[in-house]
Structure 1
Amino acid sequence: MATEEKTFSDFKLNKQLLNAIADMGFTKPSPIQEKAIPRILAGQDLFGIAQTGTGKTAAFVLPILMKIKYAQGNDPRALILAPTRELVIQIDREIKELAKYTDLRHVCVYGGIGPKTQIEEIQKGVDILVGTPGRVMDIYLKGELVFKQLKVMVLDEADRMMDMGFMPQIRKFLEVIPRKRQNLLFSATLPDKVVTLSEEFLEFPERIEVTPQATPAKLVEQKLYYIPNFLTKINLLGELLADEETFSRVIIFTKSKEHANNIFKFLSRKGKGETRVLHANKGQNSRINAIDSFKDGEVRTLVATDVASRGIDVSSVSHVINFDVPVIYEDYVHRIGRTGRANNTGTALTFCNPAEKYHIGKIQKIIRMQIPVEDLPANLEILPTTKEERQKINKEIDHQKRRENPGFKGAFHEKKERKKDSPYLKALNKKKKSGNRKNKRRR
C-alpha cells in the first residue's frame, strides 16, 4: 500500500505560514523538511546532514517561525549563524518571504560594512538574528546584544564554519547564551571536526540524513576534462560559452582572486554575455549587486571564488564550471550544488590539469563515484605549457607524492643525485681533490 504524500498542512503550521508557503510556490515538503520540521517543533536538538539545494533553510526557519509566533520584547529569541555574508543574506531573504504575514522582526549582520546601521536595526527590536559569527560577536562585545531570551540557536553549514576557523568564536557563544535552549546543526558533509562540534553543541540530538553525506545532487550531471595548462583551460571555456543557448546561466569557480579576475577580463573582452566577478576583495554592495543581477537574469556568467559556493540560491543555473579543482574536497559538493536546484537539472564541468589529478582522486573517494571523463573538442587549440606553470605543476606533484610518501625526495633531488653520480662529475671531483692535496703540500 502506497504511503500518502505529506503536505505542509500536516505539520500543523499556522495560516500565516501556510499562505506564505503557497505564495512561494511550494506544494509539498522536501525530504529534509519532512524529517526535520516535526522534530524541531517537538523541541528536539537536531543534527541534520543534507546536501545543498534540498530546502534545508526552510526546514529550520519554518518551525522557528511557528515556535516564536509573534514579535515580543527587544532581544533575539532565535540566533542563526552561517559562515559567509552571502549565505546570511540568503537565509534572511527566505525568512522575509516565509514571515511576511507575521509581525516577526529579523535582522541580518555581517562584516565587510560598518556595524552602525546593523546596530540601529537591532536597537529597534529583533526576534530572529542571522549573522556571521565574527560580526555577531563584535556587536555583542559592544554591549548591543542581549541573549537572555534566546530559545533556539542554529549553526548552518557547520562544515564550512570549521574550515573557516570559527570554532573559537562558537565556543565563546556557548559561554554567553542560556544553557536551556534548543540547538540545531546542519551540514552537507560530515568531517571529524563537525562530529566533534556536534558532541559539544548538541544534547541527545536526533540525527537525520536525507542523502549519504557528501553526495552530489542527483539532478546534476558531472563531467571531467583533463587539460594541460591554464591557457588551454581558457580556450576550452571560450569554446563552451560560445553555445549561448545551452550555457544560458553559468557560475565559474576558481581557486584564487587572480584567476577570477583574469577569466572575467577574458570573457568581457570576448563578449561572452554580461559577466560579473565575485571574490573577497569586492565590496559588500558590489557582491550583493552581482548576485542579484545574476538571479534576475541580467548577468549570464558569474565568476567566483569559494566565498560564493554556499551563498547563491538560484534555481535556474544551467552549468557550474570548476575552472580549478577545489583543494578543500567538500567544496566540490557545494560548488556543483549551485546547479540542479529546485528539481531543475544542471551540469557541472571540472577542468583538471596534471597537478589537480591528485585532488580529483580524493574528491571521487568522498562522493563515492567516478566523474565521467569527456574528450576535449576536436577543434580546441591546445597551447604549450609555459616554463613557469610547468615548474609550478611539477613542484605541486612532488609535494603530493611527499604527502603520500614522506620518504619521497622529489624530482629536483633526484636530478641532483643523477648529476652527482655522472662519470664526468666524478672525474671532476677527483681532480679537485687531487689539486687540493697538492696545494696543501706546497703550503
Structure 2
Amino acid sequence: MDEDPTTSTDAGFAELGLRPELLRALADLGYEEPTPIQREAIGPLVAGHDLVGQAATGTGKTAAFALPLLQRLTTGTSDDPVALVLVPTRELAEQVSQAVHRYGRELNVRVLPVYGGQPIHRQLQVLRRGVDVVVGTPGRILDHIERETLRLDAIRTVVLDEADEMLDMGFAEDIEAILAETPEERQTVLFSATMPPRIDAIARRHLRDPQRIRMGRDTATADALPTVRQSAYLVARAHKAAALGRVLDVEAPTAAIVFCRTREEVEEVTESLNGRGFRAEALHGGLSQDQRDRVMGRLRAGTTELLVATDVAARGLDVEQLTHVINFNVPSAPEAYVHRIGRVGRAGRTGAAITLAEPREQRMLKAIERLTGQRIVLEKLPTVTDLRARRLEMVRTTVVEGLDADDLDRFRSVLASLTDEADLEQVALACLNLLHEANGGDVDEPEIPSIAPQREREFDNRAARRNGPGADRYNDRGPGRGRSADSAVTRVFVGLGRRAGLRPQDLVGAIAGEAGLPARDIGAIQITDRFSLVEVPEADADRVIRALSHSTIRGRRPTVRRDRPHR
C-alpha cells in the first residue's frame, strides 16, 4: 500500500541529520524508515569517519554510503570528481549510479558510471564536462587513470562496495593502484558481505581507525531460505523469453512473480507470456495506485497467475498463495536475490526460486551462493519432449481428479451408446485425445540451444546428495562414469515426483538395490512435480523397469515404463 511517506521519512531519516534536499528525495521514493545498517552507518560517515560495514543480507547499504556522500558533497566547485565508488560489476555500477542520481537530484549531482563494454568516448566526453561522483569497475577506472582522463587529486571519499567480490574477481592489485592515486586524507568506506582475512588486511592498510558495523542475517529471510528450492538455467539472451515460457509450462506455478530489471522489460515479458497463453499482469512504477491494487486483487483472486514486476514496484508485496519467484535476469546484487526469494517459503511454506542466467552471469550466481551459504542447482532447460510429457501428465491428472466427481452416472447412457460402435479402450483414447487438444495439444516449437556450465564436473552426484529434496536433477558426470560417452541409453519413466517427496538419491538407491545396477551407470535424472525420468543403459532398461515395478519408493509403488518418444 502506497501512502504519503513524508512524515514517517522525516521522523526516521531526519534524526540522522540529513539535509532537507535528501529527505525530500527519500520521501518521494517512498523510503519510510532507515534500515539497521543505515541507522548505524550514516551518522559516523556524515561525521567523516572511515567505516567497515558487513551486511549478510540486503539491508540497504547503497543508501547507507550514498546519503552521507551526498550530505558532504559540494557540487559544481570542481570539474574533477570528489567521490569515487568502486564496484565489481557493470550491473552494480549502473545500480549505484542510478541510486546516487535519485537521492541527489535536488543537489544537481553529476554522477558517471564507468565500466568496460561501454564506448569509452562517451565516458571521455562526460569527464571533460566535469563530474562530482564516479561509480565504476576497477579495470576501467584504472584504464582512465593510465590514459590521464580521470584525475583523483580532489577525491574526498572512496567507497569499496562488495569488496569481497572484487577480490574474488582478481581486482586486488587494481584497487591498490587506484587507492595510491587518491589523497591520503580521504575518507574510506568498505562494505562487504563477508569478512575474510584479506578484507581485514585492506582495511588495516587503507582505513584510519574505522568504525565497524556488522549486520546479521535477517531472521525472517534466514528462516525462509531452507524451504525454497533454488535452481538456475543457463540461457542465451536471444532465447530467454522462450525459455521462460518453457520453464513455466513444466513448473505450472499456482502463482508466481517474474522479476525484471526495467519497466520496458516488464512490458515485453508480459506481452510474450500472454502470447503463449499465460495470464500475466505487469506491475511497475508507471502504474497508478488504483491500477496496482486491481492487479494485486486479480492475483490474489486467482484470475491472474503471473505477476511480472520490477523490484521497486514489488516492494512490500506478500502474496500468501505465491509458489514461485523467477528472476528473468540474475539480480545485480546478491542481497536483492535473497529478498526476492524470501517472498516464497514464508511461515513454513515451501516454494521455488528459479533464475534465468546468461553464461557471463555465472560468477554472479557464485556470489549469491557465498552470501546465502546454499547451492543454486544448474539445470538443463526442459526439452520439447519434456513439455509433451508434462502435457500428457496434465491430461492424466485431470482425469484422475474427475474420477471423484459426484455426477458421473448421467454419462452412462452416452458411454453405452459409444461402446456399441467401438470398444471401450478406443472410446477412452478418443476422450483423452480431445482433453489433450483442449490443453494445448502437442508442442510444436524448436529446441532451445543448451549451454554447458563452466566447471560442469562440479555438478555431480555428490552435489545432488548434499542438496537433498531440492536437487531436482542428478547428473553423474554425463552418461555414467562406468561406461563410455557413446553407450546407448534409455530414459525410464517413473510415476513419482516432487509431490511424493522423491529425491535423486531415492531413485539411485532403488535402482542400485533392486535392479543391481551400479550407481556409476545411472545417468541424468529429472524430477518434476508428478513424475521422473532417469537414464539407464539400454541393455539394462528392461531389468530396471521390472525391478522398480515390483518395489516401493517413498512408501509407494510407482508406474514404471520406458519414456515414450514423441514425434
2:241 is the counterpart of 1:249:
no
Query: 1:355 maps to what in 2?
Result: 462
Q: 1:125, 1:154 → 2: CA distance? A: 20
Is the CA contact 1:320–1:335 (under 8 Å) kept in the aligned structure 2?
no
Is the CA contact 2:259–2:309 (under 8 Å) kept in the aligned structure 1?
no
- Equivalent of residue 209 in structure 2, options 204, 207, 212: 204
Is the CA contact 2:326–2:355 (under 8 Å) kept in the aligned structure 1?
no
Is the CA contact 2:229–2:353 (under 8 Å) kept in the aligned structure 1?
no
Is the CA contact 2:45–2:51 (under 8 Å) kept in the aligned structure 1?
yes
Alignment map for 1:122-133 (pairs within 5 Å): 122-133=127-138
User: Cα deviations across residues 191-235 of structure 1 (Å, max 9, x unaligned)?
Assistant: 2322222222222111101215x98944744336599xx9xxx99
- Equivalent of residue 354 in structure 2, options 313, 321, 325: 321
User: 1:49 corresponds to which letter in structure 2?
Assistant: Q
Question: How many percent identity over aligned positions?
Answer: 30
Mark the CA change 1:68 to 1:207 in structure 2 (over 3 Å): closer, same or farther.
Answer: same
Aligned residues: 322
- Equivalent of residue 165 in structure 2, options 160, 166, 175: 160
Give 1:138 shift.
0.8
Is the CA contact 1:49–1:189 (under 8 Å) kept in the aligned structure 2?
yes
- Equivalent of residue 383 in structure 1, options 526, 533, 542: 533
Q: 2:206, 2:219 → 1: CA distance? A: 25
User: 2:227 corresponds to which letter in structure 1?
Assistant: K
User: Cα deviations across residues 407-429 of structure 1 (Å, max 9, x unaligned)?
Assistant: xxxxxxxxxxxxxxxxxxxxxxx
Is the CA contact 2:326–2:353 (under 8 Å) kept in the aligned structure 1?
no
Aligned partner of residue 256 in structure 2, secondary structure? coil
2:292 is the counterpart of 1:142:
no
Mark the CA change 1:63 to 1:383 in structure 2 (over 3 Å): closer, same or farther.
Answer: same
Alignment map for 1:81-160 (pairs within 5 Å): 81-160=86-165
User: 1:356 corresponds to which letter in structure 2?
Assistant: A
Query: 2:507 maps to what in 1?
Result: none
Higher relative contact order by CA 8 Å / sep ≥ 6: 1 or 2? 1
Q: 2:196, 2:205 → 1: CA distance? A: 15
Q: Identify unmatched segments of 5+ residues in structure 1.
A: 252-266, 275-291, 338-347, 362-372, 388-443
2:369 is the counterpart of 1:332:
yes
2:46 is the counterpart of 1:46:
no
User: 2:501 corresponds to which letter in structure 1?
Assistant: D
Give 1:174 shift.
1.9
Q: Identify unmatched segments of 5+ residues in structure 2.
A: 1-9, 235-243, 261-272, 281-307, 315-324, 344-351, 379-458, 469-498, 503-526, 538-567
Aligned partner of residue 227 in structure 2, secondary structure? strand
Q: 1:327, 1:101 → 2: CA distance? A: 33
2:24 is the counterpart of 1:19:
yes
Give 1:164 shift.
0.5
User: 2:353 corresponds to which letter in structure 1?
Assistant: V
Is the CA contact 1:152–1:183 (under 8 Å) kept in the aligned structure 2?
yes
Aligned partner of residue 47 in structure 1, secondary structure? strand
Q: 1:12, 1:168 → 2: CA distance? A: 37
Is the CA contact 1:85–1:132 (under 8 Å) kept in the aligned structure 2?
yes
Higher deviation after alignment, 79-88 or 376-385: 376-385
Is the CA contact 2:334–2:364 (under 8 Å) kept in the aligned structure 1?
no
For normalisation by structure 2, the TM-score amounts to 0.49
Q: 1:20, 1:296 → 2: CA distance? A: 15
Give 1:52 shift.
4.0
Q: 2:161, 2:220 → 1: CA distance? A: 18
Mark the CA change 1:270 to 1:247 in structure 2 (over 3 Å): closer, same or farther.
Answer: same
Is the CA contact 1:241–1:247 (under 8 Å) kept in the aligned structure 2?
no
Give 1:336 shift.
9.6
User: 1:80 corresponds to which letter in structure 2?
Assistant: V
For normalisation by structure 1, the TM-score amounts to 0.61
User: 2:164 corresponds to which letter in structure 1?
Assistant: D
Aligned partner of residue 21 in structure 1, secondary structure? helix
Q: 1:226, 1:112 → 2: CA distance? A: 30
Is the CA contact 1:216–1:336 (under 8 Å) kept in the aligned structure 2?
no
Is the CA contact 1:105–1:127 (under 8 Å) kept in the aligned structure 2?
yes
User: 2:24 corresponds to which letter in structure 1?
Assistant: N
Aligned partner of residue 534 in structure 2, secondary structure? coil
